[in-house]
Structure 1
Amino acid sequence: MTTLPRHVAENRRHWDATADQWVASGERAWARMEPTWGIWGLSNDELPLLPQSLREQRAIELGCGTGYVSAWMQRRGADVYAIDNSAEQLATAERLADIYDVERIEWVHGDAEAVAQPDRSFDFAISEYGAAIWCEPRQWLTEAHRLLRPGGELVFLGHHPLAMVCAPQAGNNNIGVTLERSYFELGELDWTDAAEDPGGIEFNLPIGEWMALFRDIGFEIDNYVEVKAPDSAAGTRFWMPADWSKKYPSEQVWWLRKRQIGG
């Protein structure tokens, strides 16, 4: 058997151990016919990660968790390949797919940095807090590029790097206004010693490094959005205070396209 990289093995352990904590939110998301995104539950009209139609397209979700994004893509007409590092998360996804009688989704237990599919297999790829933050950036983006057909689109949403700069070193406390780590040294964020969430090993990069990486791999940038909390937001979600996110970006979304020439 191939030995998993440390971050893949640790994140598998973490998500298998905590999968029960995400069942209820997965059930709520599956019950919604229209997508909502990220910490603040923004509508697809406000933050259009998914096109209105994916008919006759083959789509992949990289780090599908409980599978609700894959269900939303299937309802838009796509044939979906959904891969996740956690067998326990996939068990929830498959159970909910049976309840909602959703077909044309292939559920796969595996690492989004090494997908057992041929080159140029997909028209559309997405990651919402899956590979986007839990996989090593160059590895998973290179794999996504390999999997997409020329002109194919990748959309991903995760933490904004500024939020990670302001996240306490040990986790467990709310994001604040103190700079806790170097912006230019963002990379691996190891939360394995945290007593509670976030746990696992995350990744992020300065914005300029993201852009250079996309260019080096062979992606063009179609769009980029820095996400703020809506005016109606209150309280704290996932260690993110609404008042903080009304002033500073809590999340980022990249819309990328595989270059046609030389793709």
Structure 2
Amino acid sequence: MEGERADEIAVNRELWALVNERYTGPAAEALWSRPEMVWGLYDVPERQLGVLGDVDGLDVLELACGTAYCSAWLTRSGARVVAADLSAEQLRTARDLQRRTGPAFPLVQADAEHVPLASGSFDLVVSEHGAAAWCDPERWLAEAARVLRPGGRLVFLTNSLLSALCVPDDEGVATNSLQRGQRAAYHVRWPGGGAEFHPSHGDWIRLLRRFGFSVEALHELYAPPDAPDHPFYEIVTTAWASQWPAEELWVAWRTTAAVTRNG
């Protein structure tokens, strides 16, 4: 299993090296320059959802940060941020944007399943469309729990389970009918490259509780009816996402000591 997972991580790393080409230049700079934090494909404002609260003075870790635009927003709000990502190419883009636009904060090349940071170092762990879909939940949740202080929060955004169930086996855009069983969606290896995880709601709750978290909220995010289709991510259309949730935003507190991933 370890060798198979290592192969999947290598494939995902190669995929994100290619995806990074879409985020260099004006697209990446536009995200870094936004004045406030937003969530997901349809830019739902944080002020509308209120899942982060006041981050001023908090120690924050962003897992699977990509080009680290979320970390830039959090740093401007007064947080002390460390951003980690598997992709050297995405982090290179982030460093370039730090030099060109600021702000600066530490960038760490690391897989969210193996975080090279001390236990109990953070008040908040955030992942916006990163760790939850691309990492084994039994591994990355264990790491999130480990690095959080007691009472710390975990906030993560991922594709909705329903969208994962409705995307055809050859990828493409979500349809109006189920394309796979719910159990099959837990771990999907796409033919075009990339391995993803889409646990059911019951799986998420079971795993979060196992690693010492208490679930505070699950926000299901829809597209506004007048929103354009996303320019990069074709997993759903606006027409689809205005009827069914395209994304899920989970909020949990670390209430007890973390257990081992096999505990």
Give the TM-score normalised by structure 1. 0.91
Letter of the structure 2 residue corresponding to residue 42 of structure 1: V
Give the Å deviation of 1:49. Answer: 4.2
Residues 131 and 262 of structure 1: is their aligned pair in 2 closer, same or farther, counting only changes over 3 Å?
Answer: closer
Query: What 5-or-longer segments of structure 2 have no aligned partner?
Result: 259-263
Q: Name the residue aligned to 1:128.
A: 128
1:215 to 187, 206, 209: 209
Q: What do the CA deviations read for 1:1-24 (whole angstroms, capped 9, x no partner)? A: x97712221111111133111224
**Corresponding residue for residue 37 of structure 2:** 35
Shift in Å at residue 58 of structure 1?
0.8
Query: How big is the alpha-carbon RMSD for the aligned residues of Structure 1 and Structure 2?
Result: 1.7
Contact residue 123 and residue 153 of structure 2 kept, 8 A:
yes
Summarize the Cα distance change of 1:203–1:106 in structure 2 as closer, same or farther, 3 Å threshold: same
What SS does structure 2 have at the residue aligned with 1:220? strand
**What is the deviation of 1:210?**
0.7
Q: Judge conservation of contact 1:26–1:67 (CA < 8 Å) in 2.
A: no
Query: Kindly tell me: are residues 190 and 246 of structure 1, through their superposed partners in 2, closer, same or farther at Cα, counting changes over 3 Å?
Result: same
Residues 17-26 or 181-190, more deviating:
17-26
Number of positions where the alignment pairs a residue of Structure 1 with one of Structure 2: 253
Q: CA deviation at 1:232?
A: 2.1
Displacement of 1:236 in angstroms is 5.7
- Structure 1 CA distance, aligned partners of 2:230 and 2:123? 36
User: 2:180 matched to which residue of 1?
Assistant: 181
Q: Write the distance in 1 (CA, Å) between the matches of 2:207 and 2:66.
A: 25
Higher helix share: 2
> What pairs with 1:87-102 in structure 2 (closer than 5 Å)?
87-102=88-103
Note the alpha carbon deviations across 1:44-78, whole angstroms, 9 max, x for none.
12233432x32221100000101100101111111
- Find the counterpart in structure 2 of residue 50 from structure 1: 52
Give the aligned partner of residue 138 of structure 2: 138
Letter in 1 for 2:246: S
Counterpart AA for 1:31: S
**Equivalent residue of 1:185, what SS?**
helix
Paired with 1:217 and 1:50, the residues of 2 have a C-alpha distance of 21
- Give the AA of the match of 1:230: P
* C-alpha distance in 1 between matches for 2:10 and 2:229: 34
Q: With the length of structure 2 as denominator, give the TM-score of the two structures.
A: 0.91
Q: Secondary structure at the match of 2:173?
A: coil
User: CA shift at 1:251, angstroms?
Assistant: 0.5
Query: Are 1:234 and 1:243, in contact at CA under 8 Å, matched by a contact in 2?
Result: no
Q: How big is each residue's C-alpha offset from its partner over 1:74-113, in whole Å with a ceiling of 9 and x where there is no partner?
A: 111111111100000000001101112313x110111111
**How much does 1:126 deviate?**
0.3
| 1:229 matches 2:219 | no
SS in 2 for 1:5: helix
CA contact (8 A) 1:81 1:106 kept: yes
Question: Is 1:114 the counterpart of 2:114 in the alignment?
Answer: yes
User: CA offsets, 1:97-154, max 9 Å, x none?
Assistant: 1112313x11011111111111101000100111121111110011000000000001
Secondary structure of the structure 2 residue equivalent to 1:72: helix
Gaps of at least 5 residues in structure 1 are: none
How far apart, in 2, do the equivalents of 1:41 and 1:101 lie? 21
| Sequence identity (%) | 35
Kindly report structure 1 stretches of 4+ aligned residues shifted beyond 6 Å. none
Any idea what the Cα deviations from partners look like across 1:149-197, whole Å, max 9, x if unmatched?
Answer: 00000100010011000001111x2211121100133222212x22xxx
